[in-house]
Structures are given as structure tokens and as C-alpha cells.
Structure 1
Amino acid sequence: MLRDEGDAARDRVLAFYLRLASAADDRLRWLPGRPEPDRFADRAHALAWLDAERTGLVAAAQWAQEERLAQTAARLGECLMEYLDWRRYFDDWIAVAATALEAMRLTGSPVDEGNAWNSFGLVLRKVGRPQEAIDAHVRARDLHQASEDPHREAIAWGNLGLSMQAAGRLPEAIDAHARACNLFQITQDRTQEGTAWSNLGVALWELGHTEESIDALVLARDLHRATGDRIREGNAWNNLGLALLKADRTDEAIEAWGNALDIFRENENWYGAGKSLHNLALAHTVAQSPAYARTCWLQAADAYIRGNASDQAELARARAEALTASATPSDTPTPASPPGRTTDSSQPSPPPPDAPDTAEQ
């Protein structure tokens, strides 16, 4: 009797969490022009609920190891993926994804198993395990190909490309992203197509094909703007800035990162804001404007702290301190008023961007 009551209580908790987590996930993924989610008024409310319930949600998602609860708990885990990525709670994501994968390998359909491999591959790349991520996305791709599901196959190709980039296998990454672009065109998913073009642009940039990279990133930006996806538009602007800087178009790069920074701040994406400020600091260094660079480094450190990225914050502060001696104490410029271009063509090597993931819809 007590066991039955305990099982019934857990069923109620899991159903409650799944219902609200699904609504919160819908709000986080919502785009203008689509029906408004009912439960949460805006992203801030959805994030606040997820933050308050994170411990319980992560624990409940790991009930997927029990066969009776596997499907429901695994669905809960899928609903948490966007949130855990946004907040950079990668340890929680690994725990949830690994449990869901094991459950779906035993009890799920090929589509469910493919989705689970995809989620696991995403977080493996995030924590610096690219070869394992490649293996996971190959499994996901093969399962979705066998299921004749071109949309999910496209997602797997895109994420495989990101993992190959992380492993330094750039020609293969470019091929994978191109396949994702083609499949998303076939399935008429303009949002994911924009993400695929952005990822392709980054891979081309890393390989030194700068003009082709700029073309791909402009197309990505325009697709995301057309679909009203402000967050992915911000990522495309950020990536475009890197390509423009490499093309020695520093003023345009500064403008691109300023646009990205506005979007990231608007959506409280503090890690993204930190990246844009980081890149603005590099651009101002190229333009021989150390005071502006120092201001950007300091602002980047603050944004990284808010984005749960303490290592990047420490690096940004160290670079600001290195410029302190050459900065004028009374001069406190802001990124909104960049200086003129100089003729110095020596460019620091910008870090690779954290390209947007092609997540499940």
C-alpha cells in the first residue's frame, strides 16, 4: 500500500513538472508570429520558475532510469535542455542526458534514441569532449536516416559539424553543415536553416575562407531577422563580426558586435553579451584604442560573471589590468562610441565563437 502511494505521488510530481517545464520550454523557444504560450508571460517568468525548481526538475528527469517512468522522465529531460544550456549548467545536463540516453536505448523508439544521442552529443561538446560528441551525433544521424526523418537528420548533421569543428576537422565540418543547410531548405525550416548557415560561416572563417564566410553569415543574419529570432540573429551578428575583422573591416566588425551586444542584453543572455564585449575589446586593440579595449574587457568580465562563466571573467579582468597602465584614468569611454580606424593591420587571433546549437524543436 505505501509503495503504491509513493508511486502515485511520484507520478503526480513528474506529470506536474513535465507540464510546467514544457510550457517554460515553449516560452524560451517562442518566436514572434507563432501562437503565444499560455503559462508564462515572458522569458523572464519562465527562467525564474526554472531557476527556482531546477534541483527538483533535474532529480525528476533522472527517474528515467526506472522503466515505468522512462518515457515521461526522458521527455522532461528534453524540456530542460534549452534551459540548462542557456544557464550553462552543464553538469546537470550531462546527468540528465546520460540517464535519458540509457533509458531510450532500452525502451525507446529509434527516433527517441536518436534524440537522446543528439542531446548527449551537444553537452559532450560543451564540456570539451569533441570526439565522444562526434560519435554521439553519428549515431543520431544514422538512426534518423534509417527512420527517414530528414528534419531530425538535418539537426544531427548540423551538430556533427559543430563537434567536428571542435575537433579541428574543418573540411568535414563544412561538408556536414552544407548537408544540414540543404536538408533544412528541403524541410522549409527557415529558423534552423539560418542556424546551419551561421555554423557553416564559422567553419569557413576558421578555415580561412573569409569572403565565403561573410556571405554565409549575412544570409544567416537575414534569415533569423526574417523569422523574428532575435537570439539567433545576435549569434549571427557576433559571428559576422569575427569574419569582418579577419577581412580587415574593423569598423564594420565593431558595428556588428554592437548589434549583437544590444540583442544579448535585451534578452539577458549575459554569456553572449560577454562574448560580444570580448570581441569588441579585440577590435579596439586592433584599432589601437587601448582605453576602449580596457572598458570592454571590464564590462565583459561583469557579463561573464552574470553568465556563469567565471574562467572567462577572470581572463577578461586580467586583460583589462594589463591595459591599465596605458589607459588615461579620466577617460572612461563606452563601446557605443568607437574610435576611428587606424592603419595598423596586425590582428590578434580572436577566439572561436560559441556557435548556436541546432536544438530539437
Structure 2
Amino acid sequence: MKRSKVKLDLVLDTVRALGVTRQHAERWAEAWQVVFGRGRSGVNVEKRLPVDLTEFTGRDRELAHIVDLGGNVGPDGVVIALEGMAGVGKTSLAVRAAAQLRDQVRSGGLELYTDLRGFSSDELPPADPEAVLTGLVRALGYKGELPRDLAHRVRIYRNLLAEKARVLLLDNVGDEDQVRHLLPRDAPVLVLITSRVRLPGLPSSVERMAVEVLDDADSLALITDISRVEPTGADPAELRLIAEKCGHLPQALAAIAGHIRDRPEWALADHRRALEDLVLHGDTGGALSLSYKRLAEPHRRVLRLLAICPARDITADTAAVLADVDHASALASLRELERAHLLQPKAPGRYGLHDLVRAHARRMAAVDEPPTGRDEALTRWLDDLQATAWAATWQFGPDQRARLPEPLLPVPHCADAESAGRWLTAERPNLVAAVEWAAEHGQPERAARLANTVSRYLRDAGYYDDWLFVHVQELSAARRGTDRKAEGTAHLNLGVVHERWGSFERARHHYEEASTIAHRIGDEAMYALALIRTGSSLSESGRADEAGELLAAGADLARRLGDREAEASAENSLGMLAHQLGRYQDALVHYNRAHALSTALGNRANAAKVGSNIGIISQQLGDYPTALAHFEEALAVSSDPIDVAGTTAALLNLGSLLPLMGRYREATAHSERALKLAVGVKDRDGEARALGDIGTIERLSGDPTAARRSHQAALDIAMALDDLDLLTEALNDLGETLVASGDHLEADRTFSRSLELTDTTGNPFENARALTGLSAAAKMRGHDDTARDLWHQALAIYTRLGVPEAARLRDGAGS
């Protein structure tokens, strides 16, 4: 039965209209995440199509039609929807057609595949279309932080699709809503859709094809091709009867053909009668049952356990852990299952189960696997995943080790960060599914353990839907149990997720819940963290006074408890608040404390982030050597292969600082590298900042024409992003270049726009820059009194901030 999904906004609007409190509204939001958020999690996008089956037979007419349509992919692309019942061979047909079209679609592009699970079981719910969109954007190479606005994300996706893809297979689509935002526009891409239902709501440009069961000739050809031997008593009439018993479905025909191949001593009539006996006794699996029963028991057991496991992808490691056998035995079982057409190869070393096979094997598991045995197998799988994820995450920084939940099994060897990243990327859907299974099957501790192990990876790699989902499951599991501390920790984790997304009110709800729980159970350490996180969120919302009080209280409590990590977090947040208010010396005091604490803890990553904050203030105060040391340290630490944002930020900081030290060539190299990284991951904010730095270098190097082009490009991006802070900086950069070019009228207009914006943003440094620029433009027009008044305003601000610009203004007073 098709699932109907209620939108979260509608749920919240309804409960608010009923007059419930904010806390109860948040409970409804969390319940929605538990019920409907499952489809947002664990979506997997492969950068390759499934294996093209060598025994593919028939479909000549359908293939010719698809190849004819797909061979004419123009600038707008071609979309073909294949509609037909389960097991009819839609995916195999799409893969074969894509293989035949490989030389006709543009060369060099990616081939992408994703299973939207439109008709899967409750254990594997339909994929949420927005989560699929995120997965596709990541597969297309975007590593920056995605905007929350759906329309903006769709634009990013379609631009990337046009640039980098050539074939996209959207498999197992449940309805039109799942693919509405995934269809190309102005992209020379071949898109193939498969679905068990008709999709009349797709755009009229989509070519829809009905895929029927095989005819007699193709059914017989498929059986004889796979069986590969001349069966005893070969009789075309018997073959036709067998094909009829299999409903002419390729999935069932392949299974019975494997049975014929492995029982050459049987007559065809024996195979047909065996099928009839199964149906007579109520076994609707028919051909699948025959294939299953011919397997050796160790292989049957592996299939049963794979069917009950929520893993999205299957590997030999998965099978070995579930069945508690060695790797070689597990691999032998997978190969035998593939040979019997009960397992589908998806990529080298990775397999999937067709829904029909999974359903049949689950029925067998219910009969042949005791409940305790099933639970033990899945618990082994959970613990193995957490141990391997622990080892992989540890590779991204030994400083993370102390903060990861200890694994329950021996930790496997993980060679390096690159291999760790590949494993985490490949296993991400399985890791998310494992958290969900543990949360829903009475294992809250294991759910929390795995969620907290993979949390940093999901955050840094940009899988925000999965990041949110695992912590929602962590909270849901904690609430079912009696561990209130675990519930409070889950609230703190969810607060961090929402704060990262800019949902500060929702973040504060979770922090307040954590604070209440901490007070109730007497957990002062948790209470300190809740104070600190709430203060940080209030600071981001512009509520400086409240933020300062909570942060100071949190820092004092953490210090009294000896919780140096929490104290470091509080001091860094206090520094950011003081920096925001223009109290640079106060900010430095807090930053230096945070840096010293993080360094003492051995947390290089956090020390580098705090150090970058020190560097930014040091640069503004004219202490360039200190700034340089911190920026170079941040660049060294950000070698993390998934932390592209950290590397880009460090390069941008260096690109901004080095021109002030007269080191233009190095500054240009850093800024151009930052620009390349930002463009590569579609990080528009980073791209604008890199262009701004390059423009400044060009201006200081005596090329105002080139500088004007670079600054204008940065301004265009800032305007498109509607980022007021970035826009203010871009306007001031451009204005300074216009003054250097002698264009005082345009400079006056540019600085005036910046001045208006700083009244909104409250950034005193950029406000003084705008006033300085307006003073220079007024002087150029001969308006000396106006210039002098603006100069005095700028000087007052720079003097209050204690930055070297004050001395520069005084030194240049004569001009």
C-alpha cells in the first residue's frame, strides 16, 4: 500500500492552532522525525550503474526504442520512465540500454544510480526525495554546506547534473513526487526511471514505456541460456508450462533456470511438477522456493540472515558477521547466492536483495531462525559496525579518540584516513540503518554509541539529514528506556544539529530540555554544557546580554568541575561574542584561554579553529606574525580529507593576511587554491571571499582594472546569496578599488550602500571602513568639510577597536 506522508510544516501549524505549548510542538516535530524521517536517512547514490547481467535475454523491441530515444540526447536531456510489475526486469532493461548507449551519450560524465525504495518493506521505507537530492549533489562532487532552501538546492543539483553527469538511473520510484525535483533542465543527460506503477503526473516531455512480462520465445531463451545444459527430456511444451508457472517474470525464470542447471538428472516435467506442488501447498514463491531449497544449509542460513538485516548494501563482511563465520566462507555463500540468482551484484564486492527474494527469505527466517539467534546475529552486526566506525573516525584525528564511545568489540585495523573515508562513505547507509534498528529494538545504549561514533563524519561530510536522523533516533531510544542522562545527552546533540542549521529556537528547546534533565538528576557537567550551548545559540541570535551571562556561568561551572573541554567551548563562545561586539582585547583573552585548554587536551582540531579566531583578531590589530602562525597551523591541521571547508577557510585567511605583509605571490597562490576548492564544491561563499582577496592583491599590486573585475564578481555572488556580512565586505573591497581608480562617484554610491548595511549588521570594523571610503570620495569631489566629519567618525571607531587603521588615518590626515 502506498504511504502518504504528512509534511512537518502542516503538523506544526495544526498543533500550534490547537494552542499547545512550544515544548509540546517540539515533541510533535520529534515524533514526525521518528515516523517519517526514516525515508530521509541512509539514502545511497552509486557513482556506477548496477552490473549488466550477461544472461540478459530478449527485449529487442523495448531496447531498440530506448536506444533510439537515448541516442538523441540534446541539450535538454532525455527522460524515459519504464513502468511494470515487480520482477518484470525493468532495472536490468535500463542497465542494458544504458550500456548500449554508453558511446552515444556525452563522454566523460558520471553514471549515477540510486534506489528510491518506493515499494520496499517497513524495514526499508521509501527514500525521501529531498534526501535523494542531497545524496545526488554529494555524489556530483559538492562538498560545501548546502542551503536549507529547497529551490536553491535544486538549482545547485541541476547545474551540477548539467556539468558532470551523463546517465542517471532512478530505480524503484514510488510516485511522481519522489522524482519531481530530480529531473534535469538544460542538461544533456539520459535519465532512466523504473516504477511498478504508472506515473501519469510526470512532465509531458517524459517518454513512458510499459514493460510487460516476457513472451514465450524470450522466456524459453532465458531459461536455456542460464541453465546452459540440455535438460533431460527436453520438450518445448514443458518449457512453456514452466514459464507459465513462473508468470513469465525474469526474476522467477532465472531462479528456476538455475535449479534446472544444477539438477540435470531431472526431467523438465519434474521441475514443472515441483513448481505445481509448491503452489498447491500454498507456497507462492514457486521458483524462488526451489532455488532456496537446493542451496546447502550454510548458504540458506546466510540468505535468511541477510534478509532480516536492515543493511542497505551487502558485503562479505556483513555476511561473515551475521552468520558468525570466517570471511572466506561468507564470500563462498555470496557467490553461491549470486549464482542462484538470489543475490544481485551492485558494485564490485557489494550486493543487494530484490524485494521478492527478501520477502521470501524473511518468511524462511521466521520459521528456521530462532528469535534469539536472529537478535544475536543483528547485535553482532551492530557491534562490528560500531567498532569499525570507531577505527575509521579515529583516523580523522587522534584528538577525537577520547570523545568517541568505546567499542564493544576489538577494533579492526584501518590503514589511513583515505581508506577510512572510503569505508565511511560506502557504509553510511548501513550505519544509519543500524542506529535506527538499535533504537527500535530495545538497544538504546548501542543506538547512542553508534550515533555518537558517526556524528562527526556525518556533520563534516555534509550528510545533515542523516546527522539529524541518528540523533533523533538516539533521543527516541533514550525516552523508551530509563536512562535520563542518555536522554539529556541526545537533547544536547540535537541542539548542536539545529544550531548548525541556523534553527536557533529549536536548538534552544533541546538545550533547555537537557538543562531541565540535568537539574533533575543532579548532573552538573551536563548542566554546564546546556548553559554553554544555550548561550552560544543566543549569541548567534543577537541576544548578546543574555548570551554573555549564560556563557560566563557555564564557564565558571565547567572550571569548578574540572571539565576542561566544556570550559574551552565556553571561552571560545565568549571570545566570539566579544569579537562580534568589537571588544577585541576581551575577545583575545577568551580565545587564548580556549586555545590553551584545547592544546592541553591534545585536541589539535579545536585548537586550530580557536587559533584561527585569534589570527583574525591579531590581523585586525596589526599583529601579523601571530596571525600567520595560527593560520598556518590551521592549514596543517585541516588536511582531513573530508574537511574541505576547513582547508578553504585556512587558505582564505592566509590569502587575506599575506598581502598586508607584502607577500603577494604567496597570497595569490593561497587565494587561487581556495578559489579552486570553493568552485569545485560549489561553495559560493568561499568563492566570493577568494575573489575578494584576489582583487585586493591586484589592487595593492597596482592593477585596479583587474581588481575591479574580481571585486565585482565577488559582489555579484554576495548579492545572490543575500549574505549581509559578506555583502558589506564585498562593497567595501570594491569601493576601495574604485577610489584607487579615481572613480569617486561610483565609490560614493558603493560605500553608501555598505554604510546602510552596517547599521543592520552592527559590524563596527566594516562600518568604519565604509566611513573612511566615503571620506576619501568626498575629498576627491572637493567636499572637505564632509570628508573631515566622516574621517573623524571613522577614527573614533578604529580608536575604540584598538586597530592599526586608527594610526594610518592619523598618518594620512594631511592628505
Fold-level similarity (TM above 0.5): yes
Structure 2 residue 545 is matched with structure 1 residue 171: yes
Counterpart Cα distance in 2 of 1:230 and 1:127: 25
Alignment of 1:1-361 (within 5 A): 2-3=365-366, 4=371, 7-25=375-393, 30-31=398-399, 39-40=412-413, 44=417, 46-265=420-639, 269-284=643-658, 294-304=668-678, 310-316=683-689, 318-319=691-692
Counterpart Cα distance in 2 of 1:147 and 1:25: 31
Counterpart Cα distance in 2 of 1:33 and 1:84: 17
Counterpart Cα distance in 2 of 1:309 and 1:150: 43
Deviation at 1:56, TM superposition (A): 0.7
Once structures 1 and 2 are overlaid, which stretch shifts more, 92-101 or 4-13? 4-13
Larger relative contact order (CA 8 Å, sep ≥ 6): 1
Give, as a single letter, the amino acid of the residue that structure 1 aligns with 2:610: A
Q: Does the Cα contact within 8 Å between 1:237 and 1:257 map onto a contact in 2?
A: yes
TM-score (ref. length: structure 2):
0.37
Deviation at 1:125, TM superposition (A): 1.0
Q: Does the Cα contact within 8 Å between 2:638 and 2:647 map onto a contact in 1?
A: yes
Q: Tell me: CA distance 1:195–1:167, structure 2 relative to 1, closer, same or farther (3 Å).
A: same
Give, as a single letter, the amino acid of the residue that structure 2 aligns with 1:124: H
Deviation at 1:189, TM superposition (A): 2.7
Counterpart Cα distance in 2 of 1:6 and 1:310: 46
Counterpart Cα distance in 1 of 2:416 and 2:519: 34
Per-residue CA deviations over 1:45-64 (Å, capped at 9, x if unaligned) read 65454333212101211225
Q: Tell me: CA distance 1:281–1:84, structure 2 relative to 1, closer, same or farther (3 Å).
A: same
- 2:478 match: secondary structure: helix
Counterpart Cα distance in 1 of 2:693 and 2:397: 35
Q: Does the Cα contact within 8 Å between 1:40 and 1:46 map onto a contact in 2?
A: no
Deviation at 1:102, TM superposition (A): 2.5
Q: Does the Cα contact within 8 Å between 1:165 and 1:173 map onto a contact in 2?
A: yes
Deviation at 1:38, TM superposition (A): 5.4
Q: Tell me: CA distance 1:320–1:271, structure 2 relative to 1, closer, same or farther (3 Å).
A: same
Deviation at 1:23, TM superposition (A): 4.7
Q: Does the Cα contact within 8 Å between 1:295 and 1:320 map onto a contact in 2?
A: no
Counterpart Cα distance in 1 of 2:416 and 2:514: 30
Q: Does the Cα contact within 8 Å between 1:160 and 1:176 map onto a contact in 2?
A: yes
Deviation at 1:292, TM superposition (A): 5.6
Deviation at 1:41, TM superposition (A): 5.9
Q: Does the Cα contact within 8 Å between 1:28 and 1:82 map onto a contact in 2?
A: no
- 1:265 match: secondary structure: coil
Deviation at 1:201, TM superposition (A): 1.1
Once structures 1 and 2 are overlaid, which stretch shifts more, 104-113 or 92-101? 104-113
When the two structures are aligned, how many residues end up with a matched partner?
Answer: 332
Q: Tell me: CA distance 1:258–1:77, structure 2 relative to 1, closer, same or farther (3 Å).
A: same
Which structure has the larger Rg over C-alpha atoms?
2
Runs of 4+ in 1 over 6 A off after TM superposition: 285-291
Once structures 1 and 2 are overlaid, which stretch shifts more, 196-205 or 101-110? 101-110
Per-residue CA deviations over 1:187-209 (Å, capped at 9, x if unaligned) read 22333322322222112111222
**Structure 2 residue ranges without an equivalent (≥5):** 1-363, 704-763, 768-815
**Structure 1 residue ranges without an equivalent (≥5):** 330-345, 350-361
Give, as a single letter, the amino acid of the residue that structure 2 aligns with 1:20: T
Counterpart Cα distance in 2 of 1:109 and 1:150: 16
Per-residue CA deviations over 1:194-235 (Å, capped at 9, x if unaligned) read 232222211211122211110111122222222322111101
- 1:158 match: secondary structure: helix
Deviation at 1:32, TM superposition (A): 10
Counterpart Cα distance in 2 of 1:179 and 1:297: 40
Name the Cα RMSD after superposition.
3.6
Deviation at 1:118, TM superposition (A): 0.7
Counterpart Cα distance in 1 of 2:575 and 2:620: 13
Q: Does the Cα contact within 8 Å between 1:301 and 1:312 map onto a contact in 2?
A: no
Deviation at 1:8, TM superposition (A): 4.6
Counterpart Cα distance in 1 of 2:677 and 2:563: 32
- 1:68 match: secondary structure: coil
- 2:442 match: secondary structure: helix
Q: Does the Cα contact within 8 Å between 1:302 and 1:313 map onto a contact in 2?
A: no
Counterpart Cα distance in 2 of 1:290 and 1:208: 29
Per-residue CA deviations over 1:96-122 (Å, capped at 9, x if unaligned) read 112222332333422111111111111
Counterpart Cα distance in 2 of 1:18 and 1:305: 35
- 2:605 match: secondary structure: helix
Deviation at 1:151, TM superposition (A): 1.6
Counterpart Cα distance in 1 of 2:697 and 2:587: 35
- 1:139 match: secondary structure: helix
Residue 352 of structure 1 corresponds to none
- 1:16 match: secondary structure: helix
Q: Tell me: CA distance 1:32–1:324, structure 2 relative to 1, closer, same or farther (3 Å).
A: closer
Counterpart Cα distance in 2 of 1:214 and 1:256: 13
Give, as a single letter, the amino acid of the residue that structure 2 aligns with 1:225: T
Q: Tell me: CA distance 1:43–1:31, structure 2 relative to 1, closer, same or farther (3 Å).
A: farther
Q: Tell me: CA distance 1:32–1:42, structure 2 relative to 1, closer, same or farther (3 Å).
A: farther
Q: Does the Cα contact within 8 Å between 1:177 and 1:196 map onto a contact in 2?
A: yes
User: Which has the larger share of strand?
Assistant: 2
Counterpart Cα distance in 2 of 1:82 and 1:43: 17
Deviation at 1:129, TM superposition (A): 0.9
Q: Tell me: CA distance 1:88–1:156, structure 2 relative to 1, closer, same or farther (3 Å).
A: farther
Q: Tell me: CA distance 1:253–1:186, structure 2 relative to 1, closer, same or farther (3 Å).
A: same
Per-residue CA deviations over 1:152-173 (Å, capped at 9, x if unaligned) read 2222222222222221222222
Deviation at 1:132, TM superposition (A): 0.8
Counterpart Cα distance in 1 of 2:541 and 2:470: 24
Counterpart Cα distance in 2 of 1:241 and 1:63: 45
- 2:502 match: secondary structure: coil
Q: Tell me: CA distance 1:174–1:92, structure 2 relative to 1, closer, same or farther (3 Å).
A: same
Deviation at 1:147, TM superposition (A): 1.5
Give, as a single letter, the amino acid of the residue that structure 2 aligns with 1:218: N
Once structures 1 and 2 are overlaid, which stretch shifts more, 242-251 or 314-323? 314-323
